[in-house]
Structure 1
Amino acid sequence: MNLNNLTTYRKQIHQNPELSGQEKQTAKQLIHAIKKLNPTEIITNINGYSFAVIFDSGNTGKTVMFRAELDALPIQEINTFSHQSKTKGVSHKCGHDGHMTILYGLAQELQKTTIAKGRVILLFQSAEETGEGAKAILNDEKFKSITPDFIFALHNVPGYPFGDVICKTETFTPSVVSLAVTLQGKTAHAAEPENGINPDIALQELIFKIKQLENPNQDDKDFSTIATVFATLGSKDYGISAGNAELHFTIRCWTLKQLHILKQHITNIVKNTCNKYQLNHTLDWFEEFASNKNDESATKHIKKAAKHLNFNYIEKTHPFKWGEDFGLFTQHYKGAMFGLGAGQNTPALHNPDYDFPDNITENGILMFYQILKQINA
């Protein structure tokens, strides 16, 4: 395993980040590099820039899929190292450059050691950060032709020792959705607000009532967090009593079922409050992420692989609270995601000073390869 070359490759990806749905060059360069490894097939443009690399043994066995993400984030990097992002306002602050490199490294191992049974599919996914990528892939007929028996993914996790494997059965990451509420009343002269319909009181009530639905107890199956992320009312025109407002939330629950219940409660609150104050309104639900439902048999393979490789295995008590688009795959196929410790003093994900730690690349490759060997032993 040529880790120096993989590190150089990862840093090249880091220097050239692309936002969700715009990963044209990232996909093109990866495909160009992987073609040299002589895979059985590469399926490109799976409902966008997502693509799948297939290594087929030609012998009957399980189809095992591993996924990595292509997209970066709209964050200005503040690091000053030589491989800093060349694109203003865009950078790899979630470690997707490292995840891609791990799958590229796995492809190199698959070229060197031909698999005896089944198929391996390396899925490079576009638009993970917006929650659009997995849905687009699942709706593409080209993907439906390569149905996996198992699907796996990893995510680097700052705050844990380098290379530790963190996992649990059932919910691994929550269901997440964002909501934008617009309120439309009627402007009036600020001296005569009674001649208009100002949504100010409704805005306050909505924040209070919706936040009251929150259940922050992580031990409860009905756990939920509701973060108010944006609010605005009227404009900075001091002779005008406001006639419009906007309010945004991000909501998280352990299960997709609980999220749907909470969405209905919120919808009813908005409707009733707007009727009370004679306001028109719209609700826009977006950036929805299904919860990762880690299959028990898939999770056992992760634990077994970690033990075989002498990696420290941590059985997580509660799910992580960040959303992951991989969850939609685990709603359809047997699969699991695990965390890979990225260092206890590594900056947090989505921070402007974060950078993927290259010393865990080998751990990720070895974990995936060992899982594959176990399934098609």
Structure 2
Amino acid sequence: MENLKDTLEKVRKELHKFPEVSEEEYETKKRIQTFLEQHTSCEVLPVAKTGLLAIFNGDKEGKIVMLRADIDALPIQEVNTFEYKSVNEGVSHKCGHDGHTAILLGVAKLLTKKTLPKGKVLLLFQPSEENGRGAKSVLEDSYFKQLNIDYVFALHNLPGFTKREIVVKENEFTSNVKSVVITLEGKTAHAAEPEKGYNPANAIAEILQFVKKETKNTPEDSDFFLATPIHLTMGEKAYGVSAGYGEVHLTLRSWSTSLMKEKQKKLEQQLQNLEEKENLSIYTSWFEEFYANKNNKEAVEYIKLAAAQLNLAINEINTPFKWGEDFGLFTQQYKGAMFGLGAGKNTPALHNPDYDFPDEITITGTQLFYNILKEVQ
């Protein structure tokens, strides 16, 4: 196992050094494919343009299980100075997807060395997790549509939790998340005669008040809903001109998918009312949609059984995480679960410029995934 640890650390650092953002993971894809061809005996298929699917078949028919690793990086400038720091300006692995990928490559090596007696294993190296488009593009792939998958599993490293601790929860594990840009088009006028134009200021103020009123930032409650103002703009720095244009950018979060739809509809009705009231043309652009990871009870039990075999501490949390994760779309369609792998109490937080995936937990993730596969079959 020591040789495997060294091998995975080497490939993880290589992936870290050459990061690519969502939908641009071409070289990352090549590196993953090269590793699979050199170290494993599996069928490798392209999926969703910049993703890969590694397929392992057992000797007998059995359940079809998919494990997923995300492979994209973030548009964040790295501040670390170690040898394998990102060479791509303004891009770095600050969410640990390099580590997630290394873990799944480790599973591929174990499956090559210790073939499962039955069933089919799909190792999905998924692109575009960070922008919420990857899972959708995989599910729309013609080959993927033919598969009758029984279970899907994924993990995410969790700074702030003890290293190697396994974090689980039934039902919602992460939040529904959706972002929107609200564009308000009016008419400019002289600042001394604003009545001759249509200024979006009052409408923007009402949108912000609406957001404040609708927000219920109580994660322990099932009707948790959080609307966060992200960016605002209006007019120009021309003090003789009454603005005729503005934008409001928001991100919405909820545990409940139905509540998210309800709040979206309510916001759009509010915007329609403001259009008429303020003589504006208001447009909405919704994007970066993440569905909640809804963990199946049986799938969570498989994770706990596999963790117990490795004598790993299991932390059953009560409240979901407020961040979004693209794997949620898979758990909406298949039985499955996402779980957390503790990355260390003092590890920098995800998406921080000094974050780096801890290599000490890679083997833990690899062994746990492999044990889950054995449990399911």
Structures share a fold, TM > 0.5? yes
Q: Does structure 2 conserve the Cα–Cα contact (< 8 Å) formed by 1:39 and 1:53? A: no
- For 2:375, the equivalent position in structure 1 comes to 374
- Choose 267-276 or 160-169, whichever is displaced more: 267-276
Question: 2:200 matched to 1:189?
Answer: no
Moved over 4 A (4+): none
The residue number in structure 2 matching 1:339 is 340
Instruction: Read off the aligned partner of 2:322 and give its amino acid letter.
Output: K
Partners of 2:14 and 2:128 in 1: how far apart? 20
3-state SS, counterpart of residue 154 of structure 1:
strand
CA distance in 2, matches of 1:13, 1:78: 17
Q: Spell out the pairing of 1:1-377 with structure 2 (5 A cutoff).
A: 1=1, 2-44=4-46, 46-376=47-377
Give the Cα separation in 2 of the matches to 1:146 and 1:79: 42
SS of the aligned residue for 1:36 comes to helix
Q: Could you tell me how far 1:38 is from its partner in structure 2?
A: 4.2
In 1, are the aligned partners of 2:189 and 2:196 still within 8 Å (CA)? Answer: yes
Shift of 1:23: 0.2
Secondary structure of 1:63's partner?
strand
Question: In the aligned structure 2, how far is the partner of 1:9 from the partner of 1:147?
Answer: 31
Task: Look up the equivalent residue of 1:23 and give its one-letter code.
Answer: E
Corresponding residue SS for 2:341:
strand
Contact map agreement 1:172 1:320 (CA 8 A) in 2 = yes
User: What is the letter of the counterpart of residue 325 of structure 1?
Assistant: D
- Distance in 1 of aligned mates of 2:32 and 2:139: 21
Separation (CA, whole Å) in 1 of partners of 2:220 and 2:155: 24
Measure, in 1, the Cα distance between the counterparts of 2:374 and 2:368: 10
CA deviations over 1:227-275 (Å, ceiling 9, x no partner): 1000001011122110010000000000211111111011111111221
Mapped to 1, the partners of 2:344 and 2:221 lie a distance apart of 29
Aligned-partner SS, 2:179? strand
1:47/1:5 CA distance change after superposition, 3 Å: closer
SS in structure 1 of the partner of residue 344 of structure 2: coil
For residues 341 and 219 of structure 1, what CA distance do their matches in structure 2 show? Answer: 22
The alignment-based identity, stated in percent, is 47
How many Å separate the matches in 2 of 1:351 and 1:277?
41
8 Å CA contact 1:39, 1:54 repeated in 2? no
Are 1:210 and 1:269, in contact at CA under 8 Å, matched by a contact in 2?
Answer: no
Deviations 1:72-130 (A, max 9, x none): 00000011111100000000000000000000011111111111011111000010000
Partners of 2:177 and 2:290 within 8 A in 1: yes
The CA deviation string for residues 322-344 of structure 1, in whole angstroms up to 9 with x for no partner, is 10000000000010000000000
One-letter code aligned to 2:70: E
User: Shift of residue 57 of structure 1?
Assistant: 1.4
> Hey, what's the Cα distance between the residues in 2 that align with 1:314 and 1:369?
20
**How much is the aligned-residue C-alpha RMSD, in angstroms?**
0.9
SS of corresponding position for 2:222: coil
Deviations 1:2-41 (A, max 9, x none): 2112111100100000010000010111111102244341
Cα distance in 1 between the residues matched to 2:148 and 2:366: 22
TM-score (structure 1 length as normaliser): 0.98
Q: Aligned AA for 1:349?
A: L
CA distance in 2, matches of 1:58, 1:268: 57
TM-score of the superposition, structure 2-length normalised? 0.98
SS of aligned partner of 2:260? helix
Query: Runs of 5+ in structure 1 lacking a partner?
Result: none
- Measure, in 2, the Cα distance between the counterparts of 1:38 and 1:125: 19
